[in-house]
Amino acid sequence: MSLGSLLLLGGVGYWYVFVEGAPQFDPPAINEAGTGMTFQLQDFQSLAMGQTRQYGLVLPPDYDKNPQKRYPVIFFLHGGHDDGRAWVDKYGLIPVLHQLHQSGKLPPSTIITPDGNDLRGSSPL
**Beta bridge partners of residue 112, listed in sequence order:** 57, 75
| 48-68 pLDDT per residue, tens | 878 888 899 999 988 989 889
From CA 42, how far away is CA 75, in angstroms rounded? Answer: 14
The ranges of the chain with pLDDT < 70 are 15-33, 80-81, 118-125
- Whether the full predicted model's pTM is greater than 0.85, yes or no, is no
Amino acid making up residue 17: V
**By C-alpha distance, which of 97, 100, 95 is closest to 29?**
95
pLDDT reported for residue 75? 94
**By C-alpha distance, which of 28, 40, 34 is closest to 93?**
28
From CA 98, how far away is CA 29, in angstroms rounded? Answer: 13
Which structural domains are found in the chain, ordered by start?
A: 29-114 (3.40.50.1820)
For the chain, what percent of residues have pLDDT higher than 90? Answer: 22
Residue 75 and residue 112 in contact, taking contact as beta carbons nearer than 8 Å: yes
